[in-house]
Amino acid sequence: MTLLIGSLQLGLIYGLLALGVYIAFRILSIPDLTADGSFTLGLAVSAVLTVAGHPILGIFAALVAGAVAGTITGLLQTKMKVHPILAGIITMTGLYSINLFIMGVSSNVSLIGNETIFSMGANASNITKTLIAAIISVIVFMILMWFFKTQLGLSIRATGNNEDMVRASSINVDRVKIIAIAISNSCVALSGAVLAQYQGFADISSGVGIMVIGLASVIIGEVFLGKRSVTLGFAAAIIGSIVYRFIIALALRSSIFPAYALKLVSAFIVAMALSIPVIKKNMQQRKIIREGRKSAKNY
Amino acid sequence: MKKIIALVVLLVVLFSAVACTSQEKSDTLTVGIIQLTDNGAFTDMREGFINRLRELGYTEDKLIIVEKSAQGDMSNLNSICQEMVNSGVDLVATIATPASQAMVNMNTDIPVIFISVGDPTGAGIISNMEKPDKNATGTSNAIPVDEMFKMADSLTPGIETYGILYNTSEKNSVTTVEKAKVYFDTNGIQYVEAVVPDSSEVQQATQSLIGKVDAIFVPNDSKVQAAMPQVADIAKTAQIPVYGSSAVMVESGAFATISISDIEIGALSADMADQVLKGTQIDQIPAITVSNFTTVINKETASEIGVELSKDILSTATIIE
């Protein structure tokens, strides 16, 4: 049961990361690589403030920090006309040193024994932890859902769709992009912040490869829930993250494979999971063709 | 609609696969081993641990060992710890700091033996080395900096400036470097730091030190260790000795080190695990900082940089050809 519930909790926490990645990649159609850096930024800020005795402040500070990181990337892209991918890489690289500095020039900050948002309730049972993770996810989901139906939110969606059209409508495209990337990285940093308090430590290498996890979650979710609307997209991001965690858990459970095959097994399961809709469609089409041939013979 | 059905089916399959509890609770003990990345030192520690357990009488039918590696992915570490708790192992051995922190944070009844953690109290894993709490105890591999530089002085006297090559993201490296700097300051030795964020930048960092230093010191750092052959090449061409912090580094071309064999640290941890499995309470087993060191010297490097090894050294140290 621990693995089941634990995977659910991790899925919800990393779901916030997936939401941030979804905003940048799908809504704004910008390949933003700052996530590796802003995730660790949120992790570091939250860890340091929790050790100082302010876990909740840590969460909010991480939100702000993520927004600042996103703003920097946005400014590089829009004002300095740096290519989006490079802008993200520049911010991510710079954040590495900043994160080390925040953690007190240490690569690892331990939170074990400190009050965190997960231990604040009377009983830090598994159910409480899951509930806290779920509540945070739902709150962020609802806020985002509301935001992307406001004037600003719609401008962001439009920019991702057809930038020239938006510019022609005399909306400040630069401002819109910067705000969107800031929000995206804010979500990513929030994910890092919650994770730090969940796992009890912050390590500088926690952000390595986080982009891959975010993208995998978004795409897995989309395969099942479709791309029809933004709200569905957000739900898909969170669900995709949970499914991805379950896949890892499944890969871990199997003792048939040696320890070093973990990533190969999880890659295989992800590939299989993604091909389910395609296989189903193929089977349906073949069924239709078969039926068609049968009825053609009858004539 | 069809896609939602597919999703539901997938979730049900995953749920049931993950949720079904592991079978029997027989007399066989299960020990889990968790590591974050795969590298030479960790492999040695793991092998040392497993071999010692087998030596102590825990044969295959009495003890099942489950090894899991997060393969460098921190996010998998939490899932692995949850899986260990889920399958109800009798003891968990964690290699290095992040894995130990993640496991201790799970706050379960399963005893934890940590293998080779640089600073257990600093990392929050236990509060007291003598009387370990948090259901964990184990071995610490703090590097003996003082002995290291005294040995360096006897092998290659006259070093005025040291170059320190390390990766800032490893807590162990940073702690060791701090200690080294204290030694240098007390003894009036100059030093120059070259920081390496990633294995790919090791070559340039090393080259930046050449011409400024008389010797290079590398702490217990996995990134630089991975690129040690490059460092050794550059240093050999410049005729500068490289003092590493593990036998693996010397095997890859560094000149010399005073090290604790990783296999030995694994074996010592196995002894502690044996005590726990036989019923000793974990807080009765103090965590130990391993202190039996051996000098390891690479003979080929020695001849390439023009260092003569005296007969005493040749007889007492471990020589690698």
Kindly determine whether residue B14 and residue A247, on different chains, have CB atoms separated by under 8 Å. Answer: yes
Residue of B nearest to A209 (CA): B73
Q: Cβ of A252 and B68 within 8 Å?
A: yes
Candidate from B6, B67, B174 with C-beta closest to A259: B67
pLDDT tens digits for range B182-238? 999 998 889 998 888 777 788 888 888 888 899 999 988 878 888 888 888 888 888
Is the Cβ of B39 closer than 8 Å to some Cβ of chain A? Answer: no
Spatial distance between the Cα atoms of A60 and A65, rounded to a whole number of angstroms: 9
- Closest chain A residue to the Cα of B11, Cα to Cα: A243
pLDDT band at A276 (very low <50, low <70, confident <90, very high): confident
Topology of domain B145-259+294-320, per CATH?
Rossmann fold (3.40.50)
Question: What does the angle CA A287 – CA A289 – CA A295 come to, to the nearest 5 degrees?
Answer: 100
Residue A259 lies in a domain: no
In terms of phi and psi (left: phi > 0; alpha: psi -120 to 50; beta: otherwise), the region of B245 is: alpha
Which of the four CATH numbers 3.40.50.2300, 1.10.287.130, 3.10.180.10, 1.10.357.10 does domain B26-141+263-289 have? 3.40.50.2300
Q: What are the pLDDT digits (tens) for A212-266? A: 889 889 988 988 887 788 899 999 999 999 999 988 888 887 777 777 888 888 7
Tell me if A220 is assigned to some domain: no
Size of interface A-B (CB pairs under 8 A): 157
In this structure, is residue A12 part of a structural domain? yes
Per the CB < 8 Å rule, is A96 touching B10? Answer: no
* Chain A residues close to B196, C-beta within 8 Å: none
pLDDT(B241) > 60: yes
Considering the domain boundaries, does residue A174 fall inside one? Answer: yes
What percent of chain B is predicted at pLDDT more than 90?
A: 17
pLDDT value at residue B26: 63
Q: What is the pLDDT of residue A155?
A: 92
Q: Which of chain B's residues have a Cβ under 8 Å away from the Cβ of A108? A: 97-98, 101, 123, 171
Structure tokens at B144: 């003996």
Q: Is the separation of the CB atoms in A59 and A117 below 8 Å?
A: yes
Average pLDDT over residues B125-149: 86
Proportion of chain A above pLDDT 70, given as a percent? 99
Tally of CB atoms within 10 A around B311: 7
Q: List CB contacts (< 8 A) between A198 and chain B.
A: 78
Residue span of the structural domain in which A174 resides? 2-206
Q: Is residue A62 part of a domain?
A: yes
Mutate to test the interface with B, among A103, A201, A223 (most CBs of B within 10 A): A201
Q: Does B19 touch chain A (CB under 8 A)?
A: yes
Q: Where in chain B is the domain with CATH 3.40.50.2300?
A: 26-141+263-289, 145-259+294-320
d(CA B245, CA B182): 17
Surface-to-core class of residue A223, CB atoms within 10 Å of its CB (0-12 exposed, 13-18 middle, 19+ buried): buried
Q: Is the pLDDT of residue B61 over 80?
A: yes
Q: What is the mean pLDDT of chain A?
A: 89
Confidence tier at B20 by pLDDT (50, 70, 90): low
Span of A25-34, A102-111, A118-127, B66-75 with lowest mean pLDDT = A118-127
Per-residue pLDDT band at B305 (split at 50, 70, 90): confident
Chain B residue whose CA is closest to A221: B7
Eight-class DSSP state of A259 = G
Averaged pLDDT score across all residues of chain B:
85
Partners of B164 in the beta sheet? B193, B217
In the structure encoding, which two tokens stand for residue B150, read together?
Answer: 């005294």
Q: Is the pLDDT score of A90 beyond 50?
A: yes
Tokens linked to B254:
């560094």
pLDDT in the model for residue B24: 47
At A190, the pLDDT band (50, 70, 90 cuts) reads: very high
What mean pLDDT do residues B242-249 have?
86
Interface test with A, best of B21, B23, B86 (most A CBs within 10 A): B86
Q: How confident is residue B1, by pLDDT bands cut at 50, 70 and 90?
A: low
| A262/B76 CB distance under 8 A | yes
Question: What is the predicted pLDDT for the residue at A225?
Answer: 84
- Judge whether A38 lies within some domain: yes
pLDDT reported for residue B21: 47
The answer to whether residue A28 scores a pLDDT higher than 50 is: yes
Residue B93 touches chain A, beta carbons under 8 Å: no
Q: How many domains, in total, are found in chain A?
A: 1
Per-residue confidence (pLDDT) for residue A124, from 0 to 100: 64
Residue A229 lies in a domain: no
Closest residue on chain A to B65 (Cα): A255
Helices A173-199/B74-86 angle, 10° precision: 40
Question: With bands split at pLDDT 50, 70 and 90, how would you rate the model's confidence at B18?
Answer: low
Examine the predicted complex and report whether its ipTM is higher than 0.95. no
The answer to whether A100 contacts B169, with C-beta atoms less than 8 Å apart, is yes
DSSP B227: T
Is B12 in the A-facing interface, judged by CB distances under 8 Å?
no
CB-based contact B170 A107, cutoff 8 Å: yes
**Based on C-alpha coordinates, what's the Rg of chain B?**
22
CB atoms within 10 A of CB A169: 10
pLDDT at B6 over 80: no
Return the pLDDT at A248.
85
- Cβ contacts of A239 on chain B, cutoff 8 Å: 7
Q: Which B residues 186-225 touch A at CB under 8 Å? A: 197
Residue B279, pLDDT score:
87
A195: nearest CA in chain B?
B75
Residue B111 · residue B100 · CB < 8 Å:
no
Smallest CA–CA distance from B98 into chain A, residue: A203
CB A110 within 8 A of CB B123: yes
**A121 domain residue, yes or no:** yes
